[in-house]
Amino acid sequence: MSERIVVLEVSGLEALHLAGIVGQFRDLLTASRSTDDPAVARLTPDAYPDDASASREFRRLTEGDLLERRGQDAETVLRTLGIDGADLDPASDPDATIAVALGESEAQAWMRTLSAVRLVLATRLGIHTEDDHEPDDLRFGVYDWIGYRLEGLITALDRT
């Protein structure tokens, strides 16, 4: 049985923006190996909300591995995009369409990364419930766009 392949089409401009956002996310994970940052803390949820001691111990045992996997997933997104988020080429054609072929494991890495980026953005924007989201506020545009891309990936995977 062959691996399922999904092909995403993104504009060059979208690819540049996505690479920049994922690159910043990767840098956040690398720079902040501490849950002092609320956005990073949200990426490593409490396993035992009613038991602070057990939660601290669980986080101590799992946080490093979880954040490392998130970093590897971000690297997969950048590799499959063919653009390094830290070294964007402004001379590339922003109107070109890029077809990104993803195997199943790469698509899973994309979904985890896009979801994690949305969690970071939600934390930065103060979105804790759907009621906190203000679609008319331009600051929420990137949050919505990442959600659109995530939904498109899920739809594409459902079709394969």
- What's the pLDDT score for residue 90? 47
Alpha-carbon distance 47 to 62, whole Å?
10
Residue found under tokens 């956005």: 39
- What's the pLDDT score for residue 92? 58
The pLDDT of 138-147, averaged and rounded, is 87
> Per-residue pLDDT tens for 1-56?
467 788 888 888 888 889 999 999 999 998 766 557 888 888 888 889 899 899 88
- What's the pLDDT score for residue 94? 61
Burial of 83 (0-12, 13-18, 19+ CB in 10 A): buried
| Res. 93: pLDDT tops 80 | no
> Per-residue pLDDT tens for 95-134?
778 888 899 999 999 999 999 999 999 998 888 777 777 7
- What's the pLDDT score for residue 105? 93
- What's the pLDDT score for residue 31? 79
Residue found under tokens 């691996």: 3
- What's the pLDDT score for residue 32? 64
